C-alpha cells in the first residue's frame, strides 16, 4: 500500500492493521518453532514480529500491549542466545497470547479502549508468564485452546471496510484488511476485494481504451449513417438525370467516390468493433482474475486448528499443505471453510490413531495428515488424506444394517464405493459415543451439501489400517463453467461437464427392452435410456445416422442415459442466475448467453436425475424410438476379455464382435474380477501375465466361486510351455490357447465349442 493511500488512516487504524499482520506471522512462526525448536530463521522472524508489535503499541500509547510484546520479544531473544530452550507448555502460552492479539486486531477502533480495559488483566498475566519462561520459573497450566484460534484466522474472502470502524465478516472472523481503517470514505459494512496495484492499473487502462473506442465507434456510426443517406439521395437523382449527360457522369463519379469512402469507414468500423471485443474480453478476464485468490488464504487457518485438536485428543499430528498457490474463486473459498474443517477434524479424531496404537501397528507415532490443492481437468481438486486406521468396510456395513438403511443381503452385493456413500447421510455416524469433537452425525452431510451446491463431486479412497482420502472436485469459478451443449427439440441446453459421466453414441440396435423400459448395457451395467423430450418438452427427432446421442448422468443413487437430439460440443459459458420471480424451474438452475446472442438454460443435474427416477417409477416415460430395440431375451451372448495389452484386447474384441458377440474388456485380473462380479457374462477370455492379479490366480478365483464356477474360462497367452498349459488345467481353465491362434479360426472355433453361437436363446 502506497504512502498516499495510508494518509487517510488513523494511527490506531494502522496499528490494528499491523497487529493483524504480526499476529499471523507469530502464529505461523510458533507452529514452525514447535516442529524445529532450533530454527534460527524462524526465531529471528518471531523476534522481529514481536518487536514491530511493541513499536506500534508504543506509538498508540497502549502500555499493556507494549509490555506484553516486549516480554515476548525477550523470550525469543533468549532462545536465539541459547539462554533457554523451548519447554513443555511454552508454545501453548505463546499461542494463547497470539489469539489475544488476533482478537484485538478484529476489534473496531471505537471499541479499542474498552477491549484493552477488559483484557488488561489477561495481558498483564501473560506478560508475567513470558518473563517467567525466560527466568526459568514453572510454566502455568496450558490454557484450553481458544475458539479465537480458528474464529479470527479465517480467510481474507470478505475483507474490512475502507473507512470508519472495520466490521468483522459474518462467519469468517476478521479476515484481512484491504484498505485498512481511517476516518473518511466508505460505508460501514461494505466488503472489498483485494486487487494488486499492477492489475488495478491494467483495469483502468482497459476501461480507458474501451471508453475511447466506444466514442470512436459512435462517431463512425454517425458518419456511416450520414454517408448512406447521401448515397441514397444520389441514387434517386441518378434515376432522374438523362443517361450520358454531363450531370449524370459527374453524379456517377461522385457516387464512386462516396462508395469508396463508405468502404473505408465500414472497414474502420469493423476494426473498431474487433478492438472493443478484444478489450472487453481482456477486461472480463482481469476482473474475473480479481476473484481468484490463492488457496493459502484459506489453508493458513488449519495448522493451528489441527495442532490444538491433536493436543486435546492426545495425538501427535503433522499437517502437510500442498498447493497453497493454487487459485480458486473466492465465492467457492467462502463455502469451503466449514467442509474442510469437518474433514480435517474427522481425520484427526476418527482417522489417526494414538501414538501407542500407531507404534503397535508398526507406524511412526506421529500421524501424517495431508491437505493438497491442485488444478486438474479444468477443476479445482482438493484432497484430505491421513495415514490412519482407514475405514473398516465390514464394520460400516454392520452399522448400516443396524440402522436399517439397507438389508444385509443388499449390502453384501453392494460395491464399497456405494457403501461409503452412506457416510454422507444426515445423522449418520460410526461413533458409538458422542464427544465434543464428533459423533453426532453432522459433518460429512455438510461436505456433500456444499459439493452439490457448487456442482462438484466427492470420492472416498480408503484401506483399512492404512489410509483414508476424501477428494473433492470443484469448479475453479462459479462465474464461468465448462459445459457440454446439446439440443432438445431444437432448443439449446447446457450441463456442467463435471456432472457428466460419459458421452455415448451407440447404434440404435444396441437398445434393449425389459418390462417396457429401454436400456443399454455399458461397462457391465444396465443403464435406463430416457428421451430428453420427456423431461424438457419438445418433439422427438429420429436418431441421426442410426446412432443415439446419450448423456450419462448420475447422482449418489441412480444413473441414467439421457437421449438428446444432438451434441454441440463443450464450451466455456458465463453463468447468469435466473430471475427470482420465475421461482424454481424443474431441472434448470441457471442460464447463459452464447456468442451469437442465443439464450440457453443450464441443467440442474441432481434435479434432472431425481425427475427421471420419479418418472421411471411412475412408468411415465416414452421409448426413444419405436421398433428399434430388441428385447432382452433376444440379446447377444456376452464375453469378458481380460488382457493388459491394448492391442491384444482390441484384436480379440474385433474378432468376437465380427461374429456377433457382445464384448466387454478389462485391463488386469482385479479389474476383470470386479467386472465379472458386477454383470453377467457367458464366457471369460484371459491373459496370464498381468499386473495385480495374473490369469492363473483369476481362473482359480472364478472356479473356486459357487456363483461363477460354471462360467467357461479360456486362457489365451504367449506362454506355450507344457508346464504352463498344465498349470492352466490345474486351476480349472476350460481351454488354453496361444496367441498365435489369432491368425486362424482356432480361438473362434473354441468359443463356439464352449458357448455356441452369438445369439442367446433367452
Strand partners, 486: 493, 567
What φ, ψ does residue 69 adopt, rounded to 5°?
-65, -35
Higher-pLDDT residue of 362, 173: 362
CA dihedral 47, 52, 53, 58 (to 10 degrees): 130
pLDDT for residue 365 is more than 90: yes
Q: Is 636-755 in CATH node 3.40.50.2300?
A: yes
| Residue 141 confidence (pLDDT) | 64
pLDDT, average across residues 659-670: 86
Cα 686 from Cα 145, distance rounded (Å) = 59
Helices 722-731 and 695-703 pack at an angle, to 10 degrees, of 30
| Residue 66 confidence (pLDDT) | 92
Sheet holding 735-738, edge to edge: 662-666, 638-642, 683-686, 713-717, 735-738
pLDDT tens sequence across 115-129: 999 999 999 999 999
pLDDT for residue 337 is more than 90: no
Q: In sequence order, which residues have a C-beta less than 8 Å from that of residue 38 and are 6 or more positions away?
A: none
Cα 601 from Cα 592, distance rounded (Å) = 6
Cα 609 from Cα 622, distance rounded (Å) = 16
pLDDT tens sequence across 462-520: 999 999 999 998 887 777 778 889 988 888 899 988 788 888 888 888 888 776 678 88
| Residue 154 confidence (pLDDT) | 39
CA dihedral 261, 262, 267, 271 (to 10 degrees): 100
Cell numbers given for 612: 427421471
Q: In sequence order, which residues have a C-beta less than 8 Å from that of residue 159 and are 6 or more positions away?
A: 169, 175, 176, 177, 178, 179, 191, 192, 193, 194
Cα 695 from Cα 671, distance rounded (Å) = 12
* Listed residue (512, 760, 549) closest to 629, CA to CA: 512
Strand partners, 370: 320, 385
Which range (6-20, 416-430, 671-685) has the least confidence? 6-20
| Residue 596 confidence (pLDDT) | 67
| Residue 584 confidence (pLDDT) | 72
Confidence of residue 387 (pLDDT cuts 50, 70, 90): very high
Cβ atoms within 10 A of the Cβ of 34, count? Answer: 17
pLDDT, average across residues 599-624: 80
CA dihedral 574, 445, 338, 575 (to 10 degrees): 10
Q: Is 3-151 in CATH node 1.20.120.160?
A: yes
- CA 461 to mean position of chain CA atoms: 16
* Listed residue (524, 536, 443) closest to 486, CA to CA: 536
How far does the chain reach from its first CA to its final CA, in angstroms? 78
Domain regions of the chain by residue span: 3-151, 197-293, 296-475, 485-631, 636-755
Which of the following CATH numbers is that of domain 296-475: 3.30.565.10, 3.90.320.10, 3.40.50.720, 3.10.20.30?
3.30.565.10
CATH architecture group of domain 485-631: Beta Barrel (2.40)
| Residue 377 confidence (pLDDT) | 66
Residue corresponding to grid cell 424443474: 586
Length of the chain: 762
Cell numbers given for 158: 470478505
Do 167 and 189 form a contact (C-beta atoms < 8 A)?
yes
Which range (27-31, 149-153, 474-478) has the least confidence? 149-153
Largest CA distance in the chain: 117
Residue 60 DSSP SS3: coil
Buried b (16+ CB within 10 A) or exposed e, 481-499: bbbbbbbbeebbbbbbbbb
Cell numbers given for 227: 454517408
Confidence of residue 317 (pLDDT cuts 50, 70, 90): very high
pLDDT tens sequence across 73-131: 999 988 988 889 988 889 889 999 999 999 999 888 889 999 999 999 999 999 999 99
* Listed residue (103, 104, 101, 91) closest to 143, CA to CA: 91
Strand partners, 588: 603
Alpha helix positions (H), 428-518: 444-453
By CB atoms closer than 10 A (0-12, 13-18, 19+), residue 388 is buried
Cα 494 from Cα 507, distance rounded (Å) = 24
CA dihedral 559, 563, 564, 567 (to 10 degrees): 70
pLDDT for residue 637 is more than 80: yes
Helix (H) or strand (E) holding 529: strand 525-531
Mean pLDDT for the chain overall: 78
Cell numbers given for 565: 437430439
Cβ atoms within 10 A of the Cβ of 749, count? Answer: 11
Residue 291 DSSP SS3: helix
What φ, ψ does residue 241 adopt, rounded to 5°?
-70, 140
Helix (H) or strand (E) holding 381: strand 379-386
* Listed residue (592, 657, 631) closest to 760, CA to CA: 631
Confidence of residue 171 (pLDDT cuts 50, 70, 90): very low
Could you tell me the CA-to-CA distances from 395 to 262, 419, 439, 546 in Å, in that order?
A: 81, 11, 16, 49
User: Could you write out the DSSP letters of every residue in 390-445?
Assistant: ---HHHHHHHHHHTTSS-HHHHHHS-HHHHHGGGGSTT----SS--SSS-SS-SHH
Cell numbers given for 264: 473505408
Alpha helix positions (H), 139-189: 148-151
Amino acid at each position: 500500500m502506497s504512502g498516499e493511500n495510508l494518509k487517510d488512516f488513523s494511527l490506531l487504524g494502522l496499528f490494528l492493521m499491523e497487529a493483524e499482520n504480526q499476529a499471523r506471522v507469530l502464529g505461523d512462526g510458533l507452529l514452525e518453532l514447535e516442529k524445529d525448536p532450533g530454527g534460527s530463521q524462524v526465531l529471528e522472524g518471531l523476534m522481529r514480529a514481536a518487536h514491530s508489535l511493541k513499536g506500534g503499541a508504543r506509538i498508540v500509547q497502549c502500555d499493556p500491549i507494549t509490555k506484553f510484546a516486549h516480554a515476548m520479544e525477550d523470550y525469543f531473544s533468549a532462545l536465539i542466545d541459547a539462554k533457554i530452550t523451548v519447554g513443555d507448555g511454552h508454545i501453548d502460552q505463546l499461542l494463547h497470547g497470539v489469539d489475544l492479539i488476533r482478537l484485538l486486531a478484529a476489534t473496531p477502533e471505537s471499541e479499542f479502549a474498552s477491549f484493552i480495559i477488559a483484557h488488561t488483566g489477561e495481558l498483564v498475566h501473560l506478560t508475567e508468564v513470558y518473563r517467567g519462561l525466560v527466568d526459568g520459573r514453572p510454566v502455568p497450566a496450558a490454557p484450553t485452546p481458544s475458539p479465537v484460534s480458528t474464529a479470527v484466522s479465517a480467510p481474507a474472502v470478505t475483507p474490512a471496510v475502507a473507512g470508519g470502524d472495520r466490521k468483522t465478516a459474518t462467519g469468517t472472523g476478521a479476515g484481512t484488511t484491504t484498505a485498512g481503517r481511517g476516518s473518511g470514505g466508505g460505508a460501514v459494512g461494505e466488503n472489498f476485494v483485494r486487487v494488486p496495484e499492477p492489475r488495478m492499473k491494467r483495469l483502468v487502462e482497459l476501461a480507458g481504451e474501451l471508453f475511447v473506442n466506444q466514442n470512436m465507434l459512435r462517431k463512425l456510426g454517425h458518419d456511416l449513417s450520414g454517408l448512406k443517406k447521401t448515397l441514397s439521395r444520389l441514387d434517386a437523382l441518378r434515376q432522374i438525370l438523362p443517361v450520358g449527360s454531363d450531370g449524370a457522369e459527374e453524379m456517377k463519379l461522385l457516387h464512386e467516390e462516396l462508395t469508396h469512402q463508405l468502404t473505408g469507414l465500414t472497414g474502420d468500423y469493423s476494426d473498431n468493433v474487433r478492438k472493443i471485443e478484444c478489450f472487453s474480453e481482456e477486461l472480463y478476464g482481469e476482473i474475473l482474475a480479481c476473484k481468484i485468490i490463492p488457496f493459502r488464504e484459506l489453508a493458513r487457518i488449519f495448522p493451528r486448528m489441527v495442532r490444538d485438536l491433536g493436543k486435546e485428543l492426545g495425538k501427535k499430528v503433522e499437517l502437510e499443505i500442498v498447493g497453497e498457490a493454487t487459485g480458486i474463486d473466492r465465492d467457492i473459498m467462502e463455502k469451503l471453510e466449514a467442509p474442510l474443517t469437518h474433514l480435517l477434524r474427522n481425520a484427526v479424531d476418527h482417522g489417526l490413531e494414538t501414538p501407542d496404537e500407531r507404534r503397535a501397528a508398526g507406524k511412526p507415532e506421529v500421524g501424517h495428515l495431508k491437505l493438497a490443492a491442485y488444478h486438474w481437468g479444468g477443476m479445482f481438486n482438493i484432497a484430505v488424506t491421513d495415514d490412519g486406521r482407514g475405514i473398516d468396510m465390514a464394520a460400516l456395513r454392520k452399522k448400516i444394517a443396524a440402522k436399517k438403511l439397507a438389508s444385509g443381503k443388499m449390502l453384501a452385493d453392494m460395491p464399497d464405493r456405494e457403501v461409503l456413500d452412506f457416510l454422507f447421510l444426515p445423522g449418520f455416524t460410526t461413533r458409538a459415543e458422542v464427544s465434543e469433537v464428533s459423533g453426532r452425525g453432522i459433518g460429512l452431510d455438510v461436505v456433500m451439501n456444499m459439493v452439490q451446491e457448487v456442482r462438484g463431486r466427492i470420492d472416498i479412497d480408503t484401506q483399512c489400517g492404512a489410509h483414508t482420502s476424501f477428494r473433492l472436485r470443484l469448479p475453479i469459478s462459479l462465474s464461468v463453467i465448462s459445459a457440454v451443449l446439446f439440443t432438445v427439440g431444437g432448443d439449446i441446453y447446457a450441463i456442467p461437464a463435471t456432472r457428466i459421466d460419459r458421452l455415448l453414441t451407440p447404434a440404435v440396435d444396441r437398445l434393449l427392452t425389459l418390462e417396457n423400459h429401454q436400456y443399454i448395457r455399458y461397462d457391465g451395467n444396465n443403464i435406463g435410456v430416457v428421451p430428453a423430450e420427456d423431461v424438457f418438452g419438445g418433439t422427438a427427432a429420429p436418431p441421426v445416422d442410426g446412432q443415439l446421442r446419450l448423456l450419462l448422468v448420475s447422482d449418489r443413487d441412480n444413473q441414467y442415459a439421457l437421449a438428446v437430439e444432438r451434441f454441440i460440443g463443450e464450451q466455456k459459458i458465463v453463468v447468469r442466475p435466473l430471475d427470482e420471480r420465475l421461482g424454481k424451474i424443474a431441472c434448470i438452475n441457471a442460464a447463459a448467453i452464447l456468442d451469437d446472442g442465443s439464450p440457453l438454460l443450464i441443467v440442474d443435474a441432481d434435479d434432472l436425475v431425481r425427475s427421471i427416477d420419479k418418472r421411471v417409477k411412475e412408468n411415465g416415460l416414452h421409448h426413444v424410438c419405436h421398433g428399434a430395440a430388441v428385447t432382452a431375451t433376444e440379446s447377444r451372448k456376452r464375453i469378458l476379455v481380460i488382457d493388459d495389452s491394448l492391442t491384444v484386447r482390441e484384436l480379440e474384441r474385433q474378432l468376437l464382435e465380427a461374429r456377433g458377440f457382445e464384448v466387454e474388456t478389462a485391463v488386469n485380473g482385479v479389474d476383470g474380477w470386479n467386472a465379472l462380479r458386477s454383470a453377467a457374462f457367458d464366457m471369460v477370455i484371459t491373459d496370464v501375465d498381468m499386473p495385480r492379479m495374473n490369469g492363473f490366480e483369476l481362473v482359480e478365483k472364478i472356479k473356486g466361486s459357487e456363483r461363477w464356477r460354471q462360467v467357461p474360462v479360456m486362457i489365451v497367452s504367449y506362454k506355450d510351455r507344457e508346464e504352463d498349459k498344465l498349470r492352466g488345467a490345474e486351476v480349472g481353465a476350460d481351454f488354453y490357447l496361444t496367441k498365435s491362434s489369432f491368425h486362424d479360426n482356432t480361438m473362434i472355433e473354441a468359443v463356439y465349442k464352449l458357448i455356441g453361437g452369438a445369439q442367446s436363446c433367452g
